[in-house]
Copies of this chain bind each other. A is one copy, B any other.
Amino acid sequence: MKKIERKKASKKGLILQRAATMFRERGFAASSMRDLAETVGIEAASLYNHIRSKNEILESICFDVANIFNEKIQEVESGRQSNINKIESLLRFHIEQMVDNYENVIVSDREWRHLDEPYRANFQNQRRTYRKRFAAIIEDGIVKGEIRRIDAATAVLIMLHAINGIESWHRSKVKMNADELANNMIRILIDGLRKPA
């Protein structure tokens, strides 16, 4: 019994993993269940023994990613570091996820609009909330004099989107290692381009 369940779980895991790759490469709407089945090595109809629908796969990917980031920001918020260091921690985590959990992170960011209701609204809400919590850290940093007087909401959008640049790093031939990449990105985002006079 345990064996069967483990087998089922791992086959479902395989389906989700192959789906993430396919959704990233072609987009959710342009990915067919027949093609997905083929990469998994079964017939299309057999997929439905493991998942309920195409949309359920997307739900699974999107909410997995959302949970990962929600847990992290909770942990960071309750820490005792400076706000600048909290931001650096979050950025490092985003970069790390972008490197290690690439397919899922990209798909959730790019394809969540295809979620059926009420999942779409739910996901959008979680996004909004996450950004507000991130902005609150920046605002606290401004109040405490660690951070320039910038618009916090704009800064959050910049940070979160900037990290999507790693997408291109993934496909690049000249692979910088992941740590070096993270250090470069954080330095640029936190200290800017301009050389201090």
> A: which residues have CB within 8 A of B?
26-30, 84, 87, 110, 113-114, 138, 141, 145-148, 150-151, 154-155, 157-166, 168-169, 176, 181, 184-185, 187-196
Question: Are A148 and B195 neighbours in the complex by a CB distance under 8 Å?
Answer: yes
Question: Are B30 and A189 neighbours in the complex by a CB distance under 8 Å?
Answer: no
Please report the C-alpha to C-alpha distance between residue A169 and residue B155 in the assembled complex, in whole angstroms: 12
Number of copies: 2
Question: Are B188 and A155 neighbours in the complex by a CB distance under 8 Å?
Answer: yes
The contact of A150 among B145, B193, B196, by CB within 8 Å, is B193
Q: How far is the CB of A120 from chain B (nearest CB, A)?
A: 12
Question: Are A158 and B146 neighbours in the complex by a CB distance under 8 Å?
Answer: no
Most chain B Cβ neighbours within 10 Å, of A141, A161, A190: A161
Please report the C-alpha to C-alpha distance between residue A71 and residue B167 in the assembled complex, in whole angstroms: 26
Query: What would 4 more interface pairs be, CB under 8 Å, given A148-B191, A151-B184?
Result: A148-B193, A154-B185, A157-B162, A192-B192
Question: Are A158 and B162 neighbours in the complex by a CB distance under 8 Å?
Answer: yes
The contact of A29 among B30, B113, B148, by CB within 8 Å, is B30
The contact of A30 among B114, B157, B176, B194, by CB within 8 Å, is B114
Show 26 residue pairs from A and B whose CB-CB distance is below 8 angstroms, ordered by the A residue.
A27-B27, A27-B113, A27-B114, A29-B30, A84-B193, A141-B193, A147-B193, A148-B187, A148-B193, A148-B194, A150-B187, A151-B184, A154-B169, A154-B181, A154-B188, A157-B165, A157-B168, A160-B165, A161-B162, A161-B163, A161-B164, A162-B162, A164-B164, A189-B193, A190-B194, A192-B192
Question: Which residues of B are found within 8 Å of A26, using beta-carbon distances?
Answer: 29, 113
Please report the C-alpha to C-alpha distance between residue A30 and residue B115 in the assembled complex, in whole angstroms: 12
**Which 5 residue pairs spanning A and B have beta carbons closest together?**
A192-B192, A157-B165, A29-B29, A29-B30, A158-B162
